[in-house]
Amino acid sequence: MPRDEVLDRTDALPTDEAGLEEQLEQALLQMRRRARGVRGSVIADTNGLTVARDIRGGPDASVLAAMSTLIAESSRGVFENLDLSAPDFILMEGPEANVAVMHMASGGVSLLLVADKATNLGNLRIEMRRAARQIADALGFAFGRRSRISELFLLHNSGLLLRHYSDSLRTDLDRDILGGMLVGVQDFVKQTLATKAGSLDQMRYGVYTIFFVRGKEVIAAAVARDADPEDVQYRVMDAVQDFEERHGATLKNWSGDAAAFPGIDESFEKVLRS
């Protein structure tokens, strides 16, 4: 990792703090790699001081850190005056670039980034929330609401079922409902094979919502009840990316044999456990 890309203070920190620093830096670095167009990002505390950074030129990290606190506090004041709950995500669009802030009130920190104007805002928000969860885990506080995913279908782009996971040996859905869901999922895949617009859609099935996450070669369908869409999308997308990184070449010419993917469960069972 180039030393000028991230803040390097590990030599001056005790071993446990050096490990924390590395975790925070990695969260920022991974966010930049996954959300194309990110120019720089910082994690700041409530005093506007830099906790960690990933800068590729442009504004100084200390300026970004100070601005993240100012933005979070200003937005909170606006919403309080409107008798509304303060947002945890703030986006400011400019003519040349966008600035986004993810405020983690329970941990007393904020995540701010500057991104190119052309950066996909939907994907940017997903990756910021993913990074925020990694930051929260590293710092030891809770962020966001965890959704319980009860069923997970993994399908090849051909519409064939690769794998089905359930959160229990005996699913709480009867066979007819489960079969109906699978038919609906497969029908969705067939109808959308011709378009690449969007990476997530969803459909209601009774009291359940089926969330679709599209990779390059597979589509995952997660079944959840009373779910946070962003939480579901982030967790399933993470698993899909991990799976396709391991088996991308095999997926392109898949013959229909599920045994062609050793270790597939390592990528997806964690989605139901988390």
Nearest Cα neighbor of 64 from 9, 22, 101, 97 is 101
Q: What values do phi and psi take at 53, rounded to 5?
A: -150, 160
Q: What are the pLDDT digits (tens) for 51-85?
A: 999 987 767 889 999 999 899 999 989 999 999 88
Percent of the chain whose predicted confidence (pLDDT) is above 70: 79
In sign, the C-alpha dihedral spanning 167, 193, 197, 245 is positive
Query: 135 falls in which pLDDT band (50, 70, 90)?
Result: very high
CA 203 vs CA 34, 96, 193, 222: distances in Å = 26, 36, 17, 11
CATH architecture designation of domain 10-139: 2-Layer Sandwich (3.30)
Residue 18's pLDDT is what? Answer: 57
Residue 16, SS3 per DSSP = helix
Flag whether the pTM goes above 0.75: no
Residue 236, SS3 per DSSP = helix
Average pLDDT over residues 168-173: 50
Domain limits, CATH 3.30.450.50, in the chain: 149-273
Percent of the chain whose predicted confidence (pLDDT) is above 90: 24
Q: How far apart are CA 128 and CA 28, in angstroms?
A: 9
Query: 208 falls in which pLDDT band (50, 70, 90)?
Result: confident
Domain limits, CATH 3.30.450.30, in the chain: 10-139
Q: How far apart are CA 19 and CA 21, in angstroms?
A: 5
Q: What are the pLDDT digits (tens) for 12-48?
A: 334 456 588 889 999 999 899 888 899 999 999 999 9
In this structure, which amino acid lies at residue 219? I
Q: What are the pLDDT digits (tens) for 229-269?
A: 777 887 888 889 889 988 988 998 888 887 888 888 888 88
Furthest-apart CA pair in the chain: how many Å? 61
Question: In the structure encoding, which two tokens stand for residue 147, read together?
Answer: 């959704």
Nearest Cα neighbor of 38 from 103, 126, 81, 97 is 97
* Residue pair 126/87 in contact by the 8 Å Cβ criterion: no
* Residue pair 173/181 in contact by the 8 Å Cβ criterion: yes
Write out the H or E segment, with its range, that includes residue 60. Answer: none
* DSSP tag of 6: B
Q: How far apart are CA 44 and CA 107, in angstroms?
A: 11
In sign, the C-alpha dihedral spanning 68, 71, 74, 79 is negative
Q: What is the mean pLDDT of the chain?
A: 80
Query: 146 falls in which pLDDT band (50, 70, 90)?
Result: low
Residue 176's pLDDT is what? Answer: 56
Question: In the structure encoding, which two tokens stand for residue 160, read together?
Answer: 């064939």
217 against 200, higher pLDDT: 217
Nearest 10 degrees: Cα torsion 48, 51, 56, 62: 30
The CATH number of the domain covering residues in 149-273: 3.30.450.50
Instruction: Give every CB contact of residue 214 below 8 A, 6+ residues apart in sequence.
Output: 196, 198, 199, 200
CA 118 vs CA 31, 125, 141, 216, 252: distances in Å = 16, 14, 33, 21, 29
